[in-house]
Amino acid sequence: MGISQPDGYLAMPEQGNTGQPVLVLHAWWGLNATLKAFCDRLAAAGFVAFAPDLYHGTVTDQIDEAEALVAALAERADQARAQLAHAAAFLRALAHSAPEGLAAVGFSLGAFYALDLSASDPERVRKVVLFYGTGPADFQKSQAAYLGHFAANDPFEPQSSVAALESALRQAGRPVTFYSYPETGHWFFEPDRTDAHNPAAAALAWERTLAFLQTSSGV
């Protein structure tokens, strides 16, 4: 028996499930159209992309509502981690013909969980892409390479947090490349955040992400 598909959005490439698997973890807005479109872009590039829905259908575009959703998720963090472990197992089984482990791409809140998953499930997670998000974890057992896209002007993720994460990853011996994008703020990659979206920076971050995911080593 196969592993059941968790709540979420699955995007498959034309060639079916032979593409490299990519787990996409949503920001505090929930699994919205922007994240689904990102999965579709990955599928068009040949990847098998799956975005688990940590909010089980709830989506918002309001900061105060998103903050409440994050607080509620924190109350059931163990359940969220179990849900992500299920999603990772599902995706890895679905793309069973891919020789390497999966990649995890996280946006803001999702970046925190991508980091956490890379530490707790090192056998599956071999590449991690972070969009303006950090988080604490013990990376000593991690087997992943890390790519990070951060905004130069970001009150949600100060440069001190980014530097601390980069230092922790390097101390664990992990390959890491972090980029800071000038004249950008949080959410610069997301086109629906019209107050923050930076098309030029978003295009460059996409190119770098695609190149990172397409390499065999992730670096």
The model carries a pTM of 0.95
CA distance 24 to 36: 9
Q: In this structure, is residue 180 part of a structural domain?
A: yes
* Edge-to-edge strand ranges of the sheet holding 21-25: 8-11, 48-52, 21-25, 102-107, 125-131, 145-151, 176-181
Q: How many CA atoms lie within 13 A of 188 on its CB side?
A: 28
Q: What is the mean pLDDT of the chain?
A: 94
For residues 3 and 193, which has the higher predicted lDDT (pLDDT)?
Answer: 193
What confidence tens digit (pLDDT) does each residue in 98-154 have?
Answer: 667 899 999 999 999 999 999 999 999 999 999 999 998 899 999 999 999 999 999
Q: pLDDT above 70 covers what percent of the chain?
A: 97
Structural domain span for residue 194: 8-214
CA distance 197 to 199: 6
Q: In this structure, is residue 205 part of a structural domain?
A: yes
Q: In this structure, is residue 219 part of a structural domain?
A: no
Q: In this structure, is residue 2 part of a structural domain?
A: no
Q: In this structure, is residue 182 part of a structural domain?
A: yes
**Average pLDDT over every residue of 34-43:** 98
Domain count, the chain: 1
Token couple for 115: 């980091």
Q: Specify the CATH number for the domain of residue 163.
A: 3.40.50.1820
Residue 48: pLDDT over 90: yes
Q: In this structure, is residue 1 part of a structural domain?
A: no
pLDDT at 15: 84
Q: In this structure, is residue 23 part of a structural domain?
A: yes
pLDDT at 98: 66
How wide is the angle at C-alpha 35 spanned by C-alphas 34 and 37, nearest 5°? 65
pLDDT band for position 218 (cuts 50, 70, 90):
very low
What confidence tens digit (pLDDT) does each residue in 150-169 have?
Answer: 999 999 999 999 999 999 99
Q: In this structure, is residue 63 part of a structural domain?
A: yes
What confidence tens digit (pLDDT) does each residue in 2-17 have?
Answer: 789 999 999 999 888 8
